[in-house]
Amino acid sequence: MKIITETLLLSELKQMAEDTFGNLVKAVVDIEKGLIAVDAELHSDLEALLLEDGSKQKNLWGINLYPEIQGDDFVEFDSLINMRPSQGNRSRNIESDETRKKIIEVVTKRIKR
């Protein structure tokens, strides 16, 4: 597990995918700090790592990254940690278009193709 504070090369992301799930990498994005934690079996482990680093729960969202896919399907907005009725998110999917946009901005900034 690691927190990406600078950039991560797509080739590194592909290697992470091959080493774990084969075609995806689980990640948690801090939309306030602009950070991504990657490379764990569970989103909750990445969430805990970011919380220990000073992130706030309300800013953390779980996603899956598919390094072999380009375009909109590169990011999947699905994780158990996203179920937050108190924030208006009642499913594993991220329902807010604004939150999705912020996540894409962080992913685009941190992962270089």
pLDDT at 113: 81
The pTM of this model reads 0.96
Task: Say how far apart CA 93 and CA 45 lie, in whole Å.
Answer: 18
Task: Say how far apart CA 48 and CA 79 lie, in whole Å.
Answer: 14
Per-residue model confidence as pLDDT tens digits over 39-70: 999 999 999 999 999 999 999 999 999 999 99
Tally of domains in the chain: 1
Mode of pairing for the β-strands spanning 75-76 and 60-65? antiparallel
With CA atoms as reference, report the closest residue to 8 among 28, 36, 32, 29. 36
pLDDT at 43: 98
Task: Say how far apart CA 45 and CA 51 lie, in whole Å.
Answer: 10
Structural domain range at position 12: 2-112
Is the pLDDT reported for residue 81 higher than 90?
Answer: yes
